[in-house]
Amino acid sequence: MRKILQFFLLIFCIACKSQKTEYPFPEKLSQWNFFKDLTHLIPNDKVIPYDISTPLFTDYAEKARFIYVPNDTKIVYNDSTFFHFPDESVIIKNFFYYYDVNQPEKGKRIIETRLLYKKNGSWIPLTYQWRENQKDAEILFAGNYVPIEWKDYEGKTQKIEYKIPNLNQCKSCHENQGVIQPIGIKAKHLNKNFIYNHGEENQLSYWLKNNILEGLPMNHPIPQLANFEDTTKNINDRARAWLDINCAHCHNPKGPAATSGLFLNSEETYPVHLGIMKSPVAAGKGTGGNSFDIVPGKPNESILYYRMTSNDPGEMMPELGRTIVHKESLKLIHDWIKSLKQ
């Protein structure tokens, strides 16, 4: 898989110096023909919108997600791991900001569209950066920074330098045991209702009904994670859901951070693996002077919480996908650690 990605990266570099017709993938997002109205992200009939129960935090960017599955092929359901997609499938994720989150009708600015394209059994990550005029997006090879401004829920103007990742940064989150995989395409993230044009429906049932999913169980419960913002759910379920989607793609027994011994996937039950009274494998400034990943009842003495408060590139966690602190999840994890019995 590494050789395949290196090959495509080499082709990308050559393409940058060549005529437009030599790109191995469409130069413009519009050329994929995913949307009948690209500016408003209105999908074509074969492109299906979806959502996940708790989204991965990306500097407060909104996401519009879609999947495309070729005709006469199906996604194969799995209870515990990634769904299997047929070749030529595409997972589409658009990152955007409403100019004013309290008045979305005022419009939005789309920053980037990330694709995972499955070819010959492997997922290939591609990124398209949107033009200022919002008419189209162009393939991007090396990442970029884009100044963004929006009004938040409190009516305050926020300004950041939004970071579009490069190919290696995409790999650092999506690579699992040397293989690129989607992060949110698991039953536990997808088992939720979605509001379609015809009304609200469980999206896995909708996929099954529309003949793009097979193997959905009918005789036992389907895994499901909480929405971390849903205060009707208990704090443990909400915190574990947030940690799973934002941290567990690295912090799991088979992930890039496996050597840390800190496993934050929702299935983990062993307290030490969750960080409770666990000493870090490597000490340093990332500990904030603390001795354990999580000290029950004491968030301010917990390394996990400290690293979430930091914006220092050498300390902060998650280490990619953010340049600012996610204050809502910070409060959640603070309160969750506070609730843990000593």
- What is the C-alpha to C-alpha distance for residues 35 and 23, in angstroms, rounded to an integer? 21
Tens digit of each residue's pLDDT (9 = 90 or more) over 134-189: 999 999 988 899 999 999 999 999 999 999 988 766 665 666 667 778 888 999 99
Kind and range of the H or E run holding 242:
helix 235-247
What share of the chain in percent tops pLDDT 70?
90
Binned at pLDDT 50, 70 and 90, residue 44 comes out as very high
DSSP structure string for 140-203: ESS-EEEEEEEE-TTS-EEEEEEEE--HHHHHHHHEETTEE--SS-SHHHH-SEEEETTEEEEH
User: Taking 90 as the threshold, does the pLDDT of residue 286 lie above it?
Assistant: no
What secondary structure letter does DSSP report for 276? Answer: B
DSSP structure string for 309-329: H---TTT-SS-SS-SS--HHH
Q: Which two tokens stand for residue 205?
A: 């049932």
Cα–Cα distances (Å) from 247 to 32, 57, 231, in that order, read: 31, 10, 21
Other residues' Cβ atoms within 10 Å of the Cβ of residue 242: 26
Residue type, 274: L
pLDDT value of residue 203: 97
pLDDT value of residue 192: 97
Structure-token match 């009708």, residue found = 105
Q: Which two tokens stand for residue 249?
A: 């793609």
How far does the chain reach from its first CA to its final CA, in angstroms? Answer: 45
Are 321 and 169 within 8 A, CB to CB?
no
User: Taking 60 as the threshold, does the pLDDT of residue 1 lie above it?
Assistant: no
β-pair type (144-151, 137-140): unpaired
Instruction: Tell me whether residue 226 is exposed, middle or buried, using C-beta atoms within 10 angstroms of its C-beta: 0 to 12, 13 to 18, 19 or more.
Output: buried
- What is the C-alpha to C-alpha distance for residues 92 and 201, in angstroms, rounded to an integer? 21
User: Taking 80 as the threshold, does the pLDDT of residue 208 lie above it?
Assistant: yes
User: Taking 70 as the threshold, does the pLDDT of residue 226 lie above it?
Assistant: yes
Q: Which two tokens stand for residue 325?
A: 């602190």
Structure-token match 């793009």, residue found = 212
Q: Which two tokens stand for residue 81?
A: 């791991």
Structure-token match 């929006």, residue found = 150
pLDDT value of residue 314: 82
Other residues' Cβ atoms within 10 Å of the Cβ of residue 215: 13
Phi-psi region of 321 (alpha: psi -120 to 50; beta: other; left: phi over 0): left
